[in-house]
Amino acid sequence: MNKKNSLIKRDQQHVWHPYSAPQAAPLFGVHRAHGVRLQLTDGRELIDGMSSWWSAIHGYRNPHIEKAVREQLERMPHVMFGGLTHEPAVSLCERLAKISPDGLERVFLSDSGSVAVEVAIKMAFQYWIARGEPKRNRLLTIRGGYHGDTFGTMAVCDPVNGMHEFFQDILTQHFFAPRPESRFGEQCTDQQFSAFTSALEAAQESLAAVILEPIVQGAGGMWFYSADFLRRVHALCREKNILLIFDEVATGFGRTGKMFAAQHAGIAPDILCVGKSLTGGTLTLAATLCTNEVTSTIASVEPGALMHGPTFMGNPLACAAAHASLDLLARATWQDEVAHIESALQAGLEPCKSIPGVKEVRVLGAIGVVELERPVDMNQVQPAFVDEGVWIRPFGRLVYTMPPFITKREDVDQICTAIKNVLRKHHPNS
């Protein structure tokens, strides 16, 4: 048995992969990764069109990040964050507060995007408990969203078309407004916004917060919506005295062409969640930022603390990686890189519009989406993409790419060509 088949067979005996049956298939072994390429155990090399689920924005094995992690490893790989502190975490929190939208001064570190959103939800609930209004324990969001896989976050994912419909009867029942009709770059009319206003006003007495993915809805539908809609939501929350949470786990740190997607609208939430690309895809780390108003209110009554505490909170290695990733973003070349990727995706994916079965093509920043009329057959399309020399991982009716920011034009062109070829060959039009 060759090395490749041995690895796959061993995996299928004991490993359970995300969103997969106990024996995942099709499955491909990876031997190493460098730059924007993955080398498989069978020797084939693939251009990574997914940035390892949107996180490896600088590609793999970036020397600046690796140097920072090695140096931190020699000092201290980890220490508990309860009652202790250390320079990598403190300076990272200072840095995040400085670069984030205005008013977000307090940072709670965690180890995954789902947990960062859980913490945000808990902050909102504790805020209202502290204010003597414990019945404000529901959230309002929009359909088509995705916020994570834990029970608190699943409850604010799309209840019908999301990945967690199976659990619907046992999740907390929150409130959902229609997905914004106004697209990115368009104004949001009074008529288009009226459904959101109605949903908020109907639930107002029980609302702790509105939670949204700003501008880009990720795994729930890859929909890009109007910055004007977002500004209107912000103004309405201020008018009605309701907290606003932005989930920027997927969009934070440059993916849409701005450091944070909220900056397209020129606004700041009360609570902000970041993760994924925070460390450049090197180590798992996430953060929840909030205003001093949220912090001081929670601290004003018993127990006087946010009741959450991940074991690996503030991990020094992850914090060092995050610093190094932010160093790379501070050099400002990433904005040009994202703009070049956007241009290449627009040109490269345009021909997909004429392929039978394609509903729509959308591009924003370093995000390219081909929405289909019906779901893909992963057993066919996944190996087909590998045969084309690229790693693309579709889900449902969405074939999309979020390449690392360092991806060159010729590699983006190959990603787009692969998407066109696979859809023409392997996706029936009805």
Confidence category of residue 337, pLDDT binned at 50, 70, 90: very high
Task: Identify the pLDDT of residue 332.
Answer: 74
Would you say 363 and 347 are in contact if contact means Cβ atoms under 8 Å apart?
A: no
Which of 247, 258, 400, 420 is labelled catalytic?
A: 247
Average pLDDT of the segment spanning 147-162: 87
Q: How many angstroms separate the CA atoms of 329 and 406, rounded? A: 12
Q: Which two tokens stand for residue 60?
A: 């793999």
Choosing from 60, 127, 146, 400, the catalytic residue is 146
- Of the listed 48, 60, 158, 276, which one is catalytic? 276
Residue 155 scores a pLDDT above 80:
yes
Reply yes or no on whether the pLDDT at 160 is more than 80: no
- Predicted pLDDT of residue 429: 61
Confidence tier at 163 by pLDDT (50, 70, 90)? low
Share of the chain above pLDDT 90, in %: 93
Mean pLDDT of 28-47: 97
Separation of first and last alpha carbons in the chain: 40
Res. 167: pLDDT tops 90: no
Q: What is the mean pLDDT of residues 59-85?
A: 98
Summarize pLDDT for 252-300 with one digit per residue, the tens: 999 999 999 999 999 999 999 999 999 999 999 999 999 999 999 999 9
Task: Check whether 1 has a pLDDT greater than 60.
Answer: no
Q: Is 247 a catalytic residue?
A: yes
Which residue from 279, 164, 284 is spatially nearest to 219, judged by alpha carbons?
Answer: 164
For the chain, the average pLDDT equals 95
Indicate the pLDDT class of residue 2, thresholds 50, 70 and 90: low
Which residue is catalytic, options 9, 19, 67, 135? 19
Six token digits for residue 95: 């840095």
Distance separating alpha carbons of residues 265 and 241, to the nearest angstrom: 20
Give the pLDDT band (50/70/90) at residue 83. Answer: very high
Residue 427 pLDDT:
72
* Residue 85 scores a pLDDT above 70: yes
pTM beyond 0.85, yes or no: yes
Mean pLDDT of the 302-315 span: 95
Q: What pLDDT, on the 0 to 100 scale, is given for residue 430?
A: 41
Q: Is 276 a catalytic residue?
A: yes
Residue 426 in this model has a pLDDT that exceeds 90: no
Q: What is the pLDDT of residues 205-215, one digit of tens each?
A: 999 999 999 99
Domains of the chain: 3-61+332-426 (3.90.1150.10), 63-330 (3.40.640.10)
